[in-house]
Amino acid sequence: MSDLADNHVNTRSLQTELTAKRDSGRKLLLPYVTAGIVPNWMDCVEAVIEAGADAVEIGIPFSDPAMDGPTIQQASVQALNNGITPHGALSELRTREFAVPLIAMTYFNLVFRYGNERFASDLAAAGCAAAILPDLPFELAGEWQEAATAHGIENVLLAAPVTSDERLAQLVERTSGFIYTVSTMGTTGERAELDNAATVLSQRVKAISDLPVIIGFGISNPEHAVSAARSSDGVIVASALMRTLLDGGSIDQVASQVSAIRVALDEAF
């Protein structure tokens, strides 16, 4: 059952915290962890924070993750097979406090079934400061946005290389937390090289907004991160970390990957 009756409201601002760190000269690092991918997945969240994360994206598994490539899809399947549910993931998060903001990432079908109000309230109770719903166009997000705002949940929107100038301006007005800039057209996943479109898109966003601009999709190693951060305020790292766990690697190994990227960013900027 939901804890909606408690009417939870988040008081932590992802946007404020990320903007302050960016303004101090720090490049932002946002690792991703699939809830339930391993039984002690929350220890992984703690480990990537200790390794230098500025916020952590928590993937709430969905059976048909359209935006995700094969690695995150496999991570979601493994988590679902482990018995994780949206309410279960949020209930587990509620048992701990983390030193940086958490961002829930999932798909709107799940939120629709859960209920906008209930989901926003339970996110707040779980300590989440923001949410990413990549398949929900902002034109259709009115009810979700209203519920999210009422519970202090920031709504992070995605910008893609093909986003028109007009739509980009509308998107910037409606997003909060940061602007998630997609590095390339396609799904998430490890890549050998980053698409130059990410640089162009970051520059377009920075020309019209002071929100932190963070690049995701395909950031797999320190070199990628440094390259992407030259034109942006930071990076999201997801598939490369979850691949380590899927291949039987340890949480310490995931933390080492995050630490290596943190060190590279700090040394380069």
- Confirm whether 46 is a catalytic residue: no
Single-letter code of the amino acid located at 166: E
The residue among 151, 158, 187 whose CA lies nearest residue 174 is 158
Tell me the residue ranges of DSSP E strands in 94-204: 102-105, 128-132, 154-156, 158-159, 179-182
Catalytic residue among 17, 46, 68, 233: 68
Tell me if residue 33 falls in helix, strand or coil: strand
End-to-end CA distance of the chain: 47
**R_g of the chain computed on alpha carbons:** 17
The residues near 97 (Cβ < 8 Å, ≥ 6 apart) are 127
* Active site (annotated) includes residue 57: yes
- CA neighbours closer than 13 Å in the CB half-sphere of residue 158: 24
Cα 261 to Cα 203: distance, rounded to the nearest angstrom: 22
Which of 263, 171, 241, 240 shows the shortest CA–CA distance to 211?
171
List the catalytic residue out of 17, 57, 154, 233.
57
Give the CA distances from residue 99 to residues 34, 41, 54, 206, 262, in Å, rounded to whole numbers and listed in that order: 18, 16, 9, 28, 16
| Residues designated catalytic | 57, 68
